[in-house]
Structure 1
């Protein structure tokens, strides 16, 4: 018995000319999200990441085009850029935030078993997919899409939400923070951020001004937040009670 997998075209996670990868990935999704199907994969190629486990993602409601993938990458680039400047301000490495590296490439070959499957969501040849590092079994939600924290006490992630608004000049806020917390005091490794912006330029999860307002209705400030700008929002009665 042998396993035939789908295969992506080559691409690179870095600017190094000798780092070229493709991913072999399963024909059946390991997870079905609201917007995307997720497949287990393995990197093949010439760089240091060869053999690493990855996740391959494809949109469910529509064919995953290069344009859709570009919008996803723009969110990650924005989050990574703000994460780098935020990390210069935090008091210790355990407070740092880091975002996953993404690669967007078209599918080159589709396994025969995938071709014969009767599914409207199956991956097809020439469709674009997103490849990212598999963060493992300890993956969890920290900050939800509406800015609600699932953690008991405020952390540097709450501060980063506020910082993203402040540093962008009030143009956006980054929420939907999910990933893993390092066991070696290296902070948080995150993926799938959601950005709400006044211009609504960050894909179909961007809820614009309403998303920003909701995020700050649910936001919990830390000691880092007090010198930061924030929008004027009307707190709900429950949130007022929590602040007193």
Structure 2
């Protein structure tokens, strides 16, 4: 007999939300679900109903995008060996899995929030304070140098094909939760990748988005130390034209917003 399929239990009310998805606390109640064993604390992410109605879906493309970002983070750690106060400060990207809802998921008032057959994303719960570090339009919190440097590095390292941005998650510090034995680290989730081919969904703003991001990006001392200051897209847009295309804002921006701003 095969292993018993895993069973999930999760709240009917979201505990958080991003620009496009709702986040629900979730747990593997029984068995093994997509590689997550019993009692694993998870976050289940489903498309907001208003975006679902527009035909936007969670899919394998979201998993592929996060896997690509995770691969680049590992390469960044290997090549750059980032440190803080003389100790390693690596960038980690959470692994995500794609699941499918069986039966409608409804609120206590009967409102359908996840439909039967709808895809959703699963990843481990982040323990610790959650912060937003930069966005896909070029906004930066201004207090986290490594994420901005990592974003800039991904574009340089991939020869201009990919810019990993829209970075958010937990910044490790002494006295807080460890991750893989590290006190200093960035544990990130739900990034965006702006790609030359625009292959990663509604937050992939493509070539124009990459130029827009760099028009707002102010290189910090890490960019300077590693020689990235002059490594930017050819013929970068001025800040004035960048604002006319898409202003730098904290939340994730969508492809149709870029189109509306340029059409």
Output the TM-score relative to the length of structure 2. Answer: 0.72
- Contact 2:58 / 2:121 at 8 angstroms: preserved in 1? no
Cα deviations across residues 80-127 of structure 1 (Å, max 9, x unaligned)?
Answer: 11111100122436431110111111123556xx288443x5112222
**TM-fit CA distance, 1:74:** 1.4
1:145 correspondence with 2:133: no
What residue number does 2:81 align with?
90
Aligned-pair CA distance for 1:160: 0.9
Structure 1 segments, 4+ long, off by >6 Å, are: 17-20, 63-67
Structure 2 unmatched ranges of 5 or more: 174-181, 243-263
Alpha-carbon separation, structure 2, partners of 1:19 and 1:149: 45
Paired residue secondary structure (1:24): strand
Deviation at 1:65?
9.5
Hey, what's the Cα distance between the residues in 2 that align with 1:69 and 1:224?
Answer: 36
Taking the TM superposition and a 5 Å limit, the aligned residue runs for 1:96-107 are 96-107=90-101
- Give 5+ residue unaligned stretches, structure 1: 1-16, 240-244
- Quick one: which of 123, 128, 139 aligns to 2:119? 128
For 1:163, which of 153, 160, 173 is the aligned residue? 153
Whole-Å separation in 2 of the counterparts to 1:95 and 1:228: 25
Q: Deviations over 1:34-72 (max 9, x none)?
A: 311221111232477431221111112217999732111
| Aligned equivalents of 2:162, 2:82: Cα separation in 1 | 24
Tell me which moved more, 161-170 or 91-100: 91-100
Q: Deviations over 1:168-199 (max 9, x none)?
A: 11112111000001124341000010111121
In structure 2, relative to structure 1, the CA distance for the partners of 1:162 and 1:55 (3 Å cut) is same
